[in-house]
Structure 1
Amino acid sequence: MKYGFIARHRSVWPTRTMCRVLAVSHSGFYEWMNRAPSQRSQDDARLTRLIRESFELSDRTYGSPRVWHDLRALGESCGMNRVIRLMHLAKLQARHKRRRLPGDTGSRLENHIAPNHLQRDFEASGPNQKWVADFTYIWTAEGWLYAAAVMDLYSRRIVGWSMSDTMQAKMVSDALLMALWRRGKPSSLMHHSDQGSQYTSDDFQQLLTAQGITCSMSRRGECWDNAAMESFFSSMKTERLSRKVYRTREEARSDVFDYIERFYNPVRKHSKLDFLSPVDFEQGLMG
């Protein structure tokens, strides 16, 4: 430790003076300086490179706990205190700044804004009566990925979804088309969303009309009007997305697909369904 202090401050005070004050041999110090780096020092240098990579990929927002989890995911077995020490030495300090979400710059066609027919009634007596829809943003090292989803309120099952690099109307249309392909053409269906430019676009409104679907929209600024979808996206982010650093959009796409199709729909127990998964709840109905 004394030799390390002297090495770090040689540009500030004379080496021999520091050796005398700290009661160490200056010849011993020079011998220590010429030694090859220890295995511990080499490991610290390698870990610091990995720590810096994790820190930069998080947009400089990760503190030591999340960096430590990143290292563990890479198979490293270092302790939390070591990560704290190396981050301090490398002057890597997380900035607690909320990343600005992309805004919806598309034009909203006022003549396509529908009344709120749903009226926060999130219960349905059978499948394919009420579908709710929305989309969310997922940060990756390559930029934003947008994920749209359609939920059947009867079973809380995600019946359609789509992902895109851009915030376009085609994304929400593709999610609805997947839902229609999976569920057939429902006879009396309400589709509820917010008033975003994607849902008020000509293309999307024409799709609803062609399928005989009643359009319902939340009131402007009232997120609780679509609380079921808000809850789904919140769960997906808490249980999966916030735990990871996505280096590519494709990596994020794969994880969203896995969360919906492998976990949420067939496995995840839902409190609104007497702790059955959406798939099990629907199969109980069919049985």
Structure 2
Amino acid sequence: MREADIAGISPRRKGFTRRDPKATLAPDLVERDFTASAPNRLWVTDLTMISTGEGPLWLSAIRDAFSRRVVAWETSARPDADLVLTTLEYALAAREVEPGKLIHHADHGCQYTSIKRTTRLARAGVQSLRDPVRGRVVATRAETNLALFEYIDGFYNSRRIQERLGWLNPLEFEEKHYTKQPTAEPTNLNTRQPALTS
């Protein structure tokens, strides 16, 4: 996001996202190891607030721990369960997920402990775990969405090389993985088109 001159914020004020005290917390299935041996084994997700002249815009993104590729993202003026569920639906539609093979890592925020989200993960055969949560002001939410699209889909996934990936970008790293597989076909290379939200 720095390359696109977009900054999220990390507020330290109390009550940023609240966990439902009645929600059952999922176990730590990865034991703080955020690496994966293949695509679609561990997805990491979080919410980021981006300030705009129209008020906050919330970015929900899911990243594959194997390639560090952002597999899905969505924005909304509200940081609610519908936002994280929409992002999850984009990710499930874009990737071939084997039931019982994927862990979806999120924080303790109420959006991630919602019944809608946990039910959808269960129907897809995805295990869930959670973790504690830990700029520039753009004029409009639409401009922010476009900047995010240009950064995530136009730069980060397709051009940003990373040392951990052998100096490849996330798409190249995944393509290299799939070319080594005897019968595997690569998954959809596009995450999504930008949506103009309010």
Give the TM-score, by structure 2 length.
0.78
Q: How many matched pairs?
A: 169
1:257-272 alignment runs, 5 A limit = 257-272=149-164
Determine if contact 2:50/2:137 at 8 Å carries over to the other structure. no
Q: 2:127 aligns with which of 204, 214, 226?
A: 214
Match of 1:141?
53
Q: 1:155 aligns with which of 56, 67, 89?
A: 67
**Alpha-carbon distance in 2 for matches of 1:137, 1:117:** 27
Q: 2:96 aligns with which of 177, 181, 184?
A: 184
Q: 1:280 aligns with which of 165, 172, 185?
A: 172
Give the gaps of 5 or more residues in structure 2. 1-9, 180-198
**Alpha-carbon distance in 2 for matches of 1:258, 1:161:** 12
Q: Does 1:165 align with 2:81?
A: no
Please report how far the alpha carbon of residue 111 of structure 1 lies from its aligned counterpart in structure 2 after TM superposition: 3.3
Q: Does 1:205 align with 2:97?
A: no
Please report how far the alpha carbon of residue 122 of structure 1 lies from its aligned counterpart in structure 2 after TM superposition: 1.5
Please report how far the alpha carbon of residue 186 of structure 1 lies from its aligned counterpart in structure 2 after TM superposition: 2.5
Please report how far the alpha carbon of residue 251 of structure 1 lies from its aligned counterpart in structure 2 after TM superposition: 0.5
State the Cα RMSD in Å. 2.2
Q: 2:107 aligns with which of 172, 194, 216?
A: 194
Determine if contact 1:138/1:146 at 8 Å carries over to the other structure. yes
**Alpha-carbon distance in 2 for matches of 1:135, 1:168:** 10
Q: Which has the higher helix share?
A: 1
**Alpha-carbon distance in 2 for matches of 1:100, 1:194:** 15
**Alpha-carbon distance in 1 for matches of 2:26, 2:11:** 32
Determine if contact 1:130/1:191 at 8 Å carries over to the other structure. yes
Determine if contact 2:19/2:108 at 8 Å carries over to the other structure. no
Give the direction of change, closer, same or farther, for the CA distance of 1:139–1:283 in structure 2 (3 Å limit): same
Give the direction of change, closer, same or farther, for the CA distance of 1:217–1:99 in structure 2 (3 Å limit): closer
Greater RCO, 1 or 2 (C-alpha within 8 Å, sep 6+):
2
1:13-28 alignment runs, 5 A limit = none
Match of 1:54?
none
Match of 2:148?
256
Task: State the AA in 2 paired with 1:247.
Answer: A
Task: State the AA in 1 paired with 2:29.
Answer: H
Three-state SS of the structure 2 residue aligned to 1:179 is: helix
Please report how far the alpha carbon of residue 212 of structure 1 lies from its aligned counterpart in structure 2 after TM superposition: 1.0
Residue-by-residue CA offset, 1:182-205 (whole Å, 9 max, x unaligned): 102323110011100000011111
Residue-by-residue CA offset, 1:223-280 (whole Å, 9 max, x unaligned): 4xxxxxxxxxxxxxxxxxx4x5411111011111111000000000112212210001
**Alpha-carbon distance in 2 for matches of 1:203, 1:130:** 20
Structure with larger Rg: 1
Match of 1:115?
27
Task: State the AA in 1 paired with 2:111.
Answer: Q
Give the TM-score, by structure 1 length.
0.55
Give the gaps of 5 or more residues in structure 1. 1-97, 224-241
Query: In percent, how many aligned pairs have the same letter?
Result: 37
Determine if contact 1:146/1:167 at 8 Å carries over to the other structure. yes
